[in-house]
Amino acid sequence: MTGSAAASGAAPGAAARKATALAVPLLGIMGGIQTADPTIASTALVESARALQMDAGLQAIAASISTLMLAATVITTGLLADRIGRRLLLVLALALSALGDLIVAVAVDPALFLTGRALAGVGLGAVYGASFAYIRAVVPQGKIAAAMGSFAACNAVSMIVVSFIGGSLASVDWRLAFIVVPVVTLISIPAVLAVLPRQPRSARGPADVAGQVVLGLGIVGVLYGISHAGAGMTSPLTWAPLLAGLVLLVLFVIVEKRGAHPFFPIELFRNPGFLAAVGMGIAFNFAQAVGILQLANIWQYVYGFSTVEVSLGQLPVTVISVAASIYIGRRLSAGLSPATAIVISGGASVLGFLAFALILISHEFWFFLPGMLLIGFGMSGLVPYGALVLRLAPPAQFGAVTSSRTTIGQFGYAVGLSGSMILVDAITREGVIHRLKDAGVTPARYGEALDAIYAYAQNGTVPSGDNGTALLQGAAASYEVAFVTTMVVTAAIVGVLSLLTVFALRRFERTLPASKPTSPSPAS
């Protein structure tokens, strides 16, 4: 089997038969580890920061360093998989992930903690990228979309189980929480060697180090700037890294166009199919970020849900997304066009966000449920997204292109997180000020009232004085309006992106020969 064949998805019969039963579930489970790790780290951050005496600046770095290192290196590790073989890369990445979190678990100072989290980010990014790319080697070409549905379902289940175990252990001892990922990754190594077929090298020649470095730094700058947008666009922590990142990304395009051996095919961005994939990745990761974050926030800050209640309350989203991913994947493999799948998934997402207006009638859980179920179904849009990336990735740059799926998703997710937080905060703030003005409070005391509300949100401190309860009630009402407004804005954004994606997919489908299927399975 040649490297080109391995990359193009023409898995040999014997290896495919051996891997069929367990390969995709195993790949999905390993992908879920990457999703669970930052959740566990976030849960354990407060106690670990207190134990290691981290100041606010170090806590901010500790919260983001793993994600930033993942973003900076995931495309490079995809290229490395092509050069050393994807199975070997996966084993090394699992081991590095385990090492990183084990270092965190025994850390005695912030430097060691940050080192461990950085290593875990690099390793887990490579694990997810390689797991996703492996689908094309272990699944017959006509079943790629169905396999993507199963991969997404196993990913979600794995994330829930691993996150729950890690979060439970964090309540006992934060160090125990960081043992969970090493245990799962080390168990996964023999499973990889037993189940997944060996993949030979499929890339040769110069590594385009300059292009990799410029791209990695550009991605980190953009994501870091977006993540600090809550501090305001005039904050140097926002605009400086964002501007630098955008400049570096432009430089990356120039370097790749002029380079003799570019590691990423820039011409893909002229392909309407790849543009459609980018639109899908941004739209549905954006929707996922807004839905999950803002549901958790309104339940905790306004309605007083505990962390456990929030986790249980969001289970319907996960359950329906698992079922919908499997369903859409199978329908795609049976002949459903990607454009139709996006109309279904995008339409469900739009209706779901609009349905959250029901909470203005009542904040009972059942009034949230229709929106949650529709958004969960809408997450199935990630299935045609992944299948299309696998189809379009050229054999010579297969690892770099398939790993870019993670980067695209992170961008959409980061914009969703920061954008929704900024919008909710701004609308809530204006609502509170309007209520204070109506109550006859002088502008000089607005800041004091807003500080009291933020203190309550952060640590539960109830404002003192006779008007403390009234202040919180007014803030809660303003927050509800802000939540619903943000959901409507999100519906509009997801709707527009879905329509643009469908338009690009229609253009892409018209470029295909009539004898070719339009479902997103890889060409042989």
Tokens 């807004």: give the residue.
Answer: 290
**CA 407 to each of CA 9, 74, 179, 332, 412: distance values in angstroms, whole numbers, following the listed order:** 22, 8, 27, 24, 9
Cα 438 from Cα 453, distance rounded (Å): 18
Q: What is the C-alpha radius of gyration for the chain, rounded to an integer number of angstroms?
A: 23
The dihedral region occupied by 50, where left means phi > 0, alpha psi between -120 and 50, and beta the remainder, is: alpha
Cβ burial, residue 4 (10 Å; 0-12/13-18/19+) = middle
What is the pLDDT, as a whole number, of residue 455? 65
Q: Which residues of 474-491 are buried (b: 16+ CB within 10 A; e: fewer)?
A: bbbbbbbebbbbbbebbb
**Tokens at residue 258, please?**
């002029």
Cα 481 from Cα 478, distance rounded (Å): 5
Tens-level pLDDT at each residue, the chain (524 residues): 334 444 444 444 554 555 567 899 999 999 999 988 988 888 888 788 888 888 777 877 888 888 889 988 999 999 899 889 999 999 999 999 999 999 999 999 999 999 999 999 999 999 999 999 999 888 888 889 999 999 999 999 999 899 889 888 888 899 999 999 999 999 999 999 999 988 777 766 677 788 888 988 998 888 888 877 776 778 888 889 999 999 999 999 888 888 778 888 888 988 999 999 999 999 999 998 898 888 888 887 788 787 778 878 888 998 999 999 999 999 999 989 999 999 999 999 999 999 998 888 888 889 999 999 999 999 999 999 999 999 998 888 898 899 989 889 888 988 888 888 888 888 888 887 777 777 666 666 667 667 766 666 655 666 666 566 667 777 778 888 899 999 999 999 999 999 999 999 999 988 876 544 444 443 33
**CA 295 to each of CA 79, 96, 274, 347, 448: distance values in angstroms, whole numbers, following the listed order:** 37, 34, 32, 20, 27
Domain 273-524: which topology?
Growth Hormone; Chain: A; (1.20.1250)
User: In CATH, which of 1.10.220.10, 1.20.1250.20, 1.10.600.10, 3.20.20.140 is domain 1-205?
Assistant: 1.20.1250.20
Model confidence, pTM: 0.84
Tokens 């930052």: give the residue.
Answer: 38
What is the pLDDT, as a whole number, of residue 414? 86
